[in-house]
Structure 1
């Protein structure tokens, strides 16, 4: 049985509060600081549950990232400039992966938190690292806003600390291409990714296999809560349960909700929280990471609700004044104008459910995965 005397713990850092990818980039918005402040305003984050994230040192990154890439990333941060050759070789200084002041220190802190999570869960328990989830990073280059791949390091850390089999579940709107690149041929890692069909990076086809356990489910535009419930109950939970993992890592990207500008999916935050709750008891070690999320109000509310779900808290129908104040301080300058929040973005934590009929094409894809899972068992 897991030893978890303190209960779930939250890993964070002040480095995220004022760090931005630039005024024009989707990651110009505050995210980790918002969920931290909101959790505190709700009374869910006493000092005993909060852990300061360490920053990983370069040699530790060489377990997945090439030393020359790590050195180039550090040099780009130091100089705040990259040459054309560095840009072409490592995808640094591009529109997706810009040069900004904390471009090494910020992702290295997220990786440090995910490594710490694996170390702390040697005897079992639950860790939440909302700054994590940078699932696109590749060994030799930045990719899709991700300079380093902290989910890979969470899995490696868990395995170093006694977890022989790890299930990685990713419900971000974008395919977990970097994590799949790391573990597609590893039979002791089960990879499940749901992601919008046809959206960048346009990988993760239903037919992809690898030598290990790879379960990709591209979903159609407009995916709603009832359809995600079908995926949760008939694919995600049965596949993870059959794998019998020693640890689960969940990437809980918030960009699959209706209000997010970087996808065309239509989930409410209830769908994410139901996945968190469903996976909670399927392994003695549970690491939950952040990921995508580009509407500051929806990502803050969703990730705060993840933390409340992990704690077993009753989510309030209306936010207390201190919580509402956190959300009312947010500003979101769009590409052409400032975006102002809808009332429920600042007054509530829980979205109204977003339901609808099941799409026949999705039903067919799920049935195909069910048949595959039955054959595997």
Structure 2
């Protein structure tokens, strides 16, 4: 099998949803720069993402919505009717200078990934993971739904059984909308209970292949290891997918301002590594993540995990310079970041007791799956 490929783009450098928005922080450009500073990313493994054309986007998205985004980018505004119909130009989904080109680029990367994985391989697209996007409207900072487009692209390569695993702090309501009644798609989502969009209940089943695990605040690494070993891996293995898509949002980390989960980045890397052992066609996407240091460090570690690079205890000077050059305006933690955010990739483990409610919910889902096979 060929070495893993990293799909990126320079469009993410300097592109922002606005100075007040949670996605004002640099993310994908940090991962690219940090990976290169570590000597982990070179022209042989880096692929520039194409920008998806409207016809390609329309395999799931409404052409009228695609046109509305193009017009919003060209004109810098939308009418009240377009705002109401397509949910763009709102507080969560603002109009910015690349409001069509940026999401179309992440969508293009996802579509390309599906084509690459017509043959066995591993693809990493950290700009992806926009799992809230809906067919005809923006939703939760997501304009297009690249996980859905990636799965449809895999389908075009003749692959039917796809496992989609989502460890973002927020439930994957857009992907659920697309595939909850498709028996050939397995959906497994871990997310914080009562966190927006407040979907993904434990009792949701769809066509029988939907497994949602809402989690209480304070989720620790020990609990995530239990979830991985007792639920995620057995369910995916017994489903026997032809390809796996992992949405690896970094907002479940302890330092992230958009959730109350408290994982270390090592817990995410463990999921990445373990799922990779179950498939020869593997796509890993980004997702949420709103602390520029924690998301940059976590997603760079994801690439190291996929590409087989050893993560040092202390970063070399060039990599430290990348992290020291970041800013997080408007957040108090950005004024005095702790030193280890500059000097390390790996967080200290955040282990703890396994709460009875988590163990019980994992057992409930595992038993339900056992009854379906």
TM over 0.5: yes
Asked whether 1:79 is paired with 2:75, we answer yes
| Map of 2:128 onto structure 1 | 132
| Map of 2:200 onto structure 1 | 204
Instruction: Decide whether the 8 Å contact of 2:244 with 2:282 is kept in 1.
Output: yes
Distance 1:246 1:337, change over 3 A: closer
- For structure 2, the 5+ residue unaligned runs are none
Rounded to whole Å, the distance in 1 between the matches of 2:333 and 2:96 is: 23
| Map of 2:323 onto structure 1 | 327
| Map of 2:234 onto structure 1 | 238
| Map of 2:34 onto structure 1 | 38
Residue deviations 1:57-97, cap 9 Å, x none?
Answer: 00111111111111111111110001111111111000000
Instruction: Decide whether the 8 Å contact of 2:208 with 2:372 is kept in 1.
Output: no
| Map of 1:113 onto structure 2 | 109
Rounded to whole Å, the distance in 2 between the matches of 1:281 and 1:236 is: 13
Asked whether 1:291 is paired with 2:287, we answer yes
Counterparts of residues 224-373 of structure 1 (less than 5 Å): 224-334=220-330, 338-373=334-369
| Residue correspondences, number | 373
| Map of 1:186 onto structure 2 | 182
Rounded to whole Å, the distance in 2 between the matches of 1:337 and 1:150 is: 31
Query: TM-score w.r.t. structure 2 length?
Result: 0.99
Residue deviations 1:284-309, cap 9 Å, x none?
Answer: 10000000000000000000000000
- For structure 1, the 5+ residue unaligned runs are none
Counterparts of residues 169-184 of structure 1 (less than 5 Å): 169-184=165-180
Rounded to whole Å, the distance in 2 between the matches of 1:53 and 1:341 is: 32
Query: TM-score w.r.t. structure 1 length?
Result: 0.98
Rounded to whole Å, the distance in 1 between the matches of 2:45 and 2:189 is: 29
Displacement over 4 Å in runs of 4+: 335-338
Asked whether 1:66 is paired with 2:62, we answer yes
Rounded to whole Å, the distance in 2 between the matches of 1:62 and 1:241 is: 32
Distance 1:30 1:243, change over 3 A: same
Distance 1:337 1:372, change over 3 A: closer
Residue deviations 1:174-210, cap 9 Å, x none?
Answer: 0000000000010110000000000000000000011
Rounded to whole Å, the distance in 1 between the matches of 2:251 and 2:336 is: 18
Shift of 1:337: 8.4
Shift of 1:270: 0.5
Shift of 1:137: 0.1
Q: Secondary structure at the residue paired with 1:333?
A: coil
Shift of 1:249: 0.2
Shift of 1:340: 2.8
Shift of 1:338: 4.8
Residue deviations 1:252-280, cap 9 Å, x none?
Answer: 00000000000000000001000000000
Asked whether 1:163 is paired with 2:162, we answer no
Match of 1:49 among 42, 45, 50: 45
Shift of 1:132: 0.2
Rounded to whole Å, the distance in 1 between the matches of 2:92 and 2:149 is: 22
Residue deviations 1:24-73, cap 9 Å, x none?
Answer: 00000000000000000111001100000000000111111111111111
Shift of 1:162: 2.6
Q: Secondary structure at the residue paired with 1:128?
A: strand
